Each structure stands twice: as C-alpha cells, then as structure tokens.
Amino acid sequence: MRRLLLAITTAGSLLTPHALVAQRATVYRIPVTGVIELGIAPFIRRALREADAAGARAAVLDINTLGGRVDAALEIVDAITSTSIPVYALIDPRAISAGALIAMATDSVFMTGEASFGASTVVDAQGTKLSEKAQSVMRAQFRALAERRGLDPRVAESMVDETLEVEGVVEVGMLLTLTASEAVRIGYAHEVSGFDDLRRRLGMEHAEVISPRTNWAEALVRFLSNPIVAPLLLSIGVLGVIVEIKTPSFGLAGAVGLASLAAFFGSHLIIGLAGWEEVILLGAGLVAVALEVFIIPGFGIAGIVAILCVSAAIFLALVGSLPTWGDIARASGILTTTAVLTTAVIYTLIRRLPTSARWHGILLQAATDRDEGYVSAEAREDLMGHLGVAATDLRPAGTAVIAGERLDVVCESGYVPKGAKVRVVRAEGYRLVVVPVDA
C-alpha cells in the first residue's frame, strides 16, 4: 500500500486539478529544524500520525538542522517508516548528521540548490568520534535505509565512515557530504527551488498545505526537559526530599519536592529518556524517604538509600537509552548544577535567614542560654526512680504514664513496645530519660 501511494503521488502530474481535489488533496509540511533532541520527536510522530489518519496525499519534512541526538533521530526514523503515506524530505539548506539520517528514511529527498546533506559520524559533545560500536550501528542504519530505497548503500555508509571509498563520489579519508548537484548526479536527491517547486514536481500544486505546530502539551514537555529548566526542577525536588528527611512529618516541602520530581520524570518519560527502570528506582527512593520520615526519624541508612536511588534514577533519565559520552557529560553537568544549587540554597537558609529583617517574626534573633536563666521546661527531678508504663511505642521517643501523668519520654536503650514497664533514670528539662524494667 505504501509503494502504491508513492507511485500515485510521483505520477500526480498526470492528474487533473479536479481529480486531485477528489482525492482529498492535502499535504502536510512538518518543520524539522534546530537541534534534533528528544523533545521534538513526539511532535513529528504526532504530525505524521495526523497526516496518515487524515488521508493526506503526502507529508513533507522541511529539514534544516546540523544534527543532534542519535536516539531522537532513530525515533523519528521509526515514525517515518511506520506511516502508510509517502513522506518526502525537503533539505533547505542543510541536513547534517542526525538530519541526514532522517532524510534517508523518507521516500525521496529534495534539495535546494545551496543545500548539503551527510556527515553523519557519531561524535560526542566535543566533536570527538565515538567507538567503532557506535559507528557500526549508524553504518548499518544508513545501509538499510539506502537499500530500502534502491540506492547504492556504499554511498550512504560513506556519510558515516571516512575510511570507505566510492569511486567518483568520495575518496578514502574524506567523510561524505553531498551538495545538491552531487546528490542529483548519483540519484540520491532531486533539485528544486523550494517547497512550491517540490509540490509542482509531485503534481500537488493544488493541494491544501497543512503546517502542524507544537501543541501546549508538547511545548510544556520540551520546556520541562530543557537543560536549563531540568536542574531547577531537580534542585527543588532534592531540597524537598532533604527537608522531609530532616523533619518528623510530611508537609509543604515534601509536596513541592514530589511535584518537581514528578514534572522532571514525567517529561522525560514522555520523550522517551526515562523508562520503567528509572520509575522503579524513583519509587524505591520515595519509599526510603517515607521510612525515614514516618518510621525511622532522623537521617540514617534509609536516607542514604533514598538519595542514592533518586540520584541514580535522575542520571539514567538524563542519559537516555543510547547514551553517548556527550549525553553522559551533559547528565553529569546537570547533576553537578543541581548539587551546587541545592548546596547554595541550604547555605543561604542557614546563614542568611536568622539575620534577615523579614524573618524576625519567625526566627529567634537572640540566644537563650541556660547560663542566663533560660530553660525549656522545669526539670522533673521529683520523678527520678519512679516506675511507669509506656503509653506508646518508644522509638526511642514516645509517651509514658508516670505517677499518674502522661509525659514525653526517651528510652535510653532503644525500642520499647507499648505497655512495657519503664523506670525514670534522668530528668532533662521537659523530657524524661527512661529504661525498660524486666517484668
């Protein structure tokens, strides 16, 4: 069916304008511009799906990019090859690296006179060539796409590997980047003056042009996954987790922290960077936080486990499924930025708030030392040696009934179950230190 539609489209110049209208003559023009990153993949996938569902005559990818992430490009390639309508590439003015891979996945490539196309060696963020394993995967992908279109696969592979030679096209030691005239000469592209000329060449000059745009959800996901916004979300999320670990109950800080982490992981889950492994790690981290907050007050093993699990989930969500060294460096940079921001905020809270005039009504501005006569509560030395019964589980803090009074106590030896007998051994202000008494 896909090949039949392609044949009908390319032979469209023989049809009359009335016949074109009768066949729902619409063409989708989808922009593929800027850096190829995972935020753009859902938009292109959705636009192609809409064009397919609408029965469009064709979809044209208007490409102008220097490349980007390999995994994002592969997602777009999968979307192109799975649609049932013809998909064409219009390169104006360049499709480099990941952009060339996307162009190769279409049914036919059209280039303006000044356009260029190729140079797809897999590199890191600094432009350093990656391992042979990564190059082999990319060569195979280009070879498969060229064979699918009935083109010379050696030409496609030479866009990835500079050690290959194609007589009359590229010499050994040179990575292939095709100009429009070169691509036309070897059958890899057709030259056009622009989009309107492409429509005319395909017999779709009377077709209605539909130009999809990103919707609010896609724009929100791209915003939340932006390398600038992601560290802020992580910083807020980590701060919320730390505050909850250090406080005995769940409050606003925890809610804001969880919302920030949900925004971060939700956006990365949608664009395909995060998977179930990251979700499971995040869940384990949140369970550890709950244990630290509600069952084991203070900062201990559960808190350390929480930080490790959440950090691992964040790192894996940042690098994606096919990470390059550039992706790993980017993820490390975001985690470092998050740690710096979190440390700076905590430092500011500790150093600045107590001396800020705005917080006079909240934070104590003067010391209330015991030497100056200040005490938190009267010491109940009269209860020394008295026996009592634990009114709650002592973990080690809790409540006990001593001499007919319900009092706050702390067990010196750790956990004591509710109903156990205890004896007062020390009086420290408002609280009493007790030890269990064997029955």
pLDDT of residue 296: 64
Evaluate whether 419 touches 431 at the Cβ level (below 8 Å): no
Q: Are residues 296 and 390 in the same domain?
A: no
Helix 70-82 / helix 41-53 crossing angle, nearest 10 deg:
0
C-alpha dihedral (411, 412, 415, 419), degrees to nearest 10? -40
Among the candidates 171, 197, 214, a domain finishes at 214
* Residues of the domain holding 409: 370-436
Q: Are residues 250 and 341 in the same domain?
A: yes
Question: Which pairing describes strands 405-411 and 387-390: parallel, antiparallel, or unpaired?
Answer: unpaired
Report yes or no on 361 lying in a domain: no
Report yes or no on 363 lying in a domain: no
Q: Are residues 144 and 221 in the same domain?
A: no
261, two tokens: 């982490």
pLDDT of residue 2: 40
Q: Are residues 420 and 345 in the same domain?
A: no
The whole-number average pLDDT for the span 1-22 is 39
Calpha distance 298→76 (Å, rounded): 48
More confident residue, 353 or 279: 279
Q: Are residues 226 and 336 in the same domain?
A: yes
Q: How confident is the model at residue 394 (pLDDT cuts 50, 70, 90)?
A: confident
Q: How confident is the model at residue 130 (pLDDT cuts 50, 70, 90)?
A: confident
Q: Are residues 208 and 236 in the same domain?
A: no
Number of compact structural domains in the chain: 3
The whole-number average pLDDT for the span 301-322 is 72
What number of other Cβ atoms are within 10 A of residue 191's Cβ?
16
Q: Are residues 180 and 39 in the same domain?
A: yes
pLDDT single digits (tens) 137-151: 899 999 999 999 999
Q: Are residues 187 and 49 in the same domain?
A: yes
Cis peptide upstream of residue 93 (ω within 30 degrees of 0):
yes
pTM of the model: 0.60
pLDDT single digits (tens) 8-17: 344 443 333 3
Q: Are residues 274 and 296 in the same domain?
A: yes
Backbone angles phi, psi at 192, to 5 degrees: -135, 165
Least confident of 82-96, 309-323, 392-406: 309-323
Among the candidates 183, 214, 245, a domain finishes at 214
Tokens 């030392």, residue located: 369
Report yes or no on 362 lying in a domain: no
pLDDT single digits (tens) 228-257: 677 777 777 777 766 765 665 566 777 787
* 394 Cα distance to chain centroid: 43
For residue 274, the one-letter residue type is A
pLDDT of residue 395: 82
Report yes or no on 345 lying in a domain: yes
Among the candidates 298, 327, 355, a domain finishes at 355
Q: How confident is the model at residue 300 (pLDDT cuts 50, 70, 90)?
A: low
Q: How confident is the model at residue 39 (pLDDT cuts 50, 70, 90)?
A: confident
Evaluate whether 43 touches 218 at the Cβ level (below 8 Å): yes
pLDDT of residue 226: 67
CATH of the domain at 59: 3.90.226.10
Q: Are residues 329 and 413 in the same domain?
A: no
